[in-house]
Amino acid sequence: MNDDEERLFLDEMSGVVPLKREPRVRRDTRRQADGESAGRRREAAVAGPASDGNPLSDDDRFVEPLDPWYVLDFKRPGVQNGVYRKLRQGRYPADARLDLHRMTVAIARRELYDYIRECHRLGLRSVMVIHGKGESRAQRERCSILKGYVNAWLRELEVVQAFHSAQPQHGGTGAVYILLRKSEAQKQATRDKFSKGRVPYDSGS
């Protein structure tokens, strides 16, 4: 464009007023996505534990892997020392056994909770869980993780009164004896047993 053409163009455009534009707002898709993701995480945190009714923790930040030879040892207040000693010595026959070998943590969590709940419902008092020690290095690492979870999970269940690693003939530190609280039916049966044969006290005689 030469000088004459440029001058002519400017004369023609001298009365033109630019159109007004609405202010544009840049959409921050990353922030929105993060907000939606956080919302979904909050919903999952609220709905997750209630969805399967399983109270056992699955947060690995609070569970330490345990050495294959570590002895599990737990007793709630009120459990008699003589009863706990017999449990440690394996003198209570196991009414049921659960083998967690080769299970993932997620599956073991579900299986252990269902197992303990069912055993208590059936009135079983002495049961066993086999978590394993592992023969190869990879197996030992997996079993040590599972053993740590079992140690934590059993403490979370109120019906579990005590537990202790098994005697060598029953699996040693790769298994655990568990003593469960009496069910309501068992408590009532005990009350009925002790009430039989009693003669009511008559203060007027």
Question: How far is residue 51's CA from residue 115's CA, in Å, rounded to a whole number?
Answer: 18
Task: Write down the pLDDT at residue 59.
Answer: 82
62: which DSSP letter?
G
pLDDT digits 0-9 by tens, 39-91? 544 444 444 444 578 999 988 787 888 998 999 999 999 999 999 999 999 99
Question: How far is residue 27's CA from residue 32's CA, in Å, rounded to a whole number?
Answer: 9
Q: Structural domains in the chain? A: 63-183 (3.30.1370.110)
Is residue 5 scored above 90 in pLDDT? Answer: no
Q: What is the H or E stretch that residue 9 is in?
A: helix 3-12
